Amino acid sequence: MKALDELTFDNRFARLGDAFSTHVLPEPIAAPRLVVASPAAMALLDLDPAEAETPVFAELFGGHKLWAEAEPRAMVYSGHQFGSYNPQLGDGRGLLLGEVYNEAGEHWDLHLKGAGQTPYSRMGDGRAVLRSSIREFLASEALHALNIPTTRALCVIGSDTPVWREKQERAAMVLRLSPSHVRFGHFEFFYYTKRPEQQKELGEHVLAMHFPHCLEQPEPYLAMFREIVERNAELIAKWQAYGFCHGVMNTDNMSILGITFDFGPFAFLDDFDAHFICNHSDDQGRYSFSNQVPIGQWNLSALAQALTPFISVEALRETLGLYLPLFQAHYLDLMRRRLGFTTAEDDDQKLLEQLLQLMQNSGVDYSLFFRRLGDESPEQAISRLRDDFVDIKGFDAWGERYIARVTREGEADQALRRERMHAVNPLYILRNYLAQKAIDAAESGDYSEVRRLHAVLSNPFEEQPGMESYAERPPEWGKHLEISCSS
């Protein structure tokens, strides 16, 4: 394991030059202190977890110190925000400190969020507040534990620096890790500003760094786009299967690697509601839970438009046509496993849709239903779960079809079935009210709840003694928390 001063930098994106990013130094926050760190994320850099407790750790990720090999850059990009094109966005409060490669040969971007003003801050102060930094940290690591592709979060550093949002809060910084921070909006920026040379340079960089196998294909850009489509179809299938709502699926928040990116007003479903809107600022429901699937396709279409200098329109359309079938295949496969099926039948889609409609009508807790479905034999589980439904007759009819479906599989070993189902149905998820309780404590100077919640969420599938309260249904107040883009 390495110490902080032993990291090896190779700043490949910075070498693209000033057309792609601007050199900016972080603005330090006052009295930097560790709120929480992820040992698993630190391991990606071969860092010794004990380094998190050293004073220099908080100073480095609080903007006070910088490695000699680091090259902090604010990236420029554009994007479609709530369906409307914004010609220039860019890192308004984040800096790509540099790229570190580990002993396995992997490159990881070190991206410091809340690092102060940049040329792309517009009217903003370039800061992030403690609550949003904690939420991003917890979400990144929780999604990873659920096997959902995502950026990672190394740490949150708190401070005494005041910032104003709806009220006075305190600034914080979160250190985000990703193999790349290139977004759909990067390609859009150079396309719409008519800079073909820079767009080609960006494309060649992305191909060489992140899709080198595509260079062996007759049409490398088309092969890359196809993989981006495939990755996003699988990503959004996992979001839908696990009830994750992103909240702000603008094209500048979409990663070319097909990973969950830029956490804002996200939420996991409590009671199942296909029309749930997690972003208080989303008046039209553009980014509602059920809309995430078509919006994923819309965003890929926006990327396709930006790639027309390299790929024929016909080939782009054909590749975009893969998205929905791929999504449906991944989603149905995941949901079959969540229901405990090991084989596929033609009526599985209908059986699932009937269940979700019953859950919708009765406000059934989405995560706990699937977990409890695997606790006992199908007959016992259905008998126990029926009381959660208003339409008991309807659920009984569904339960009969479900039991018959399980029986046809011929699974005799209930213990094996339980183990298999619990391996895909989490007991612990990042509910908004749990995050809010941790944030409330942290804002009072107590970081123990953030750290405890992070530890619980890092192992979501296995029951943890003494942590029963983290697996309970939320109180009524916890279902109605308003989360907006303001951070």
**Catalytic residue positions, numbered:** 252
Contact 432, 271 (CB under 8 A): no
- In DSSP notation, 403-434 reads HHHHHHHT---HHHHHHHHHTTS-S----HHH
For residue 371 the two structure tokens come to: 């977990």
Three-state DSSP state, 128: strand
Q: What amino acid occupies position 177? A: L
Query: 175 phi and psi, to 5 degrees?
Result: -100, 115
How far, CA to CA in Å, does 144 sit from each of 26, 78, 228, 454, 463? Answer: 28, 27, 19, 12, 18
- In DSSP notation, 52-106 reads GGSHHHHHHTTTS---TT---EEE---EEETTEEES----SSEEEEEEEE-TTS-
Query: 470 phi and psi, to 5 degrees?
Result: -80, -10
Using alpha carbons, select from 275, 470, 478 the residue that is nearest to residue 359: 275
Q: What is the DSSP letter of 475?
A: P
User: Which helix (H) or strand (E) covers residue 173, if one does?
Assistant: strand 168-178
Q: What is the DSSP letter of 27?
A: P
Q: What gap in Å lies between CA 218 and CA 174, rounded to an integer?
A: 41
Cβ partners under 8 Å of residue 139, min gap 6: 150, 260, 263, 266, 430
For residue 6 the two structure tokens come to: 């032993």
Q: What gap in Å lies between CA 16 and CA 149, rounded to an integer?
A: 27
Cβ partners under 8 Å of residue 85, min gap 6: 78, 79, 188, 192
String of b and e for 329-351 (b: at least 16 CB within 10 Å)? ebbbbbbbbbbbbeeeeeebeeb
How many residues make up the chain in this entry?
A: 487
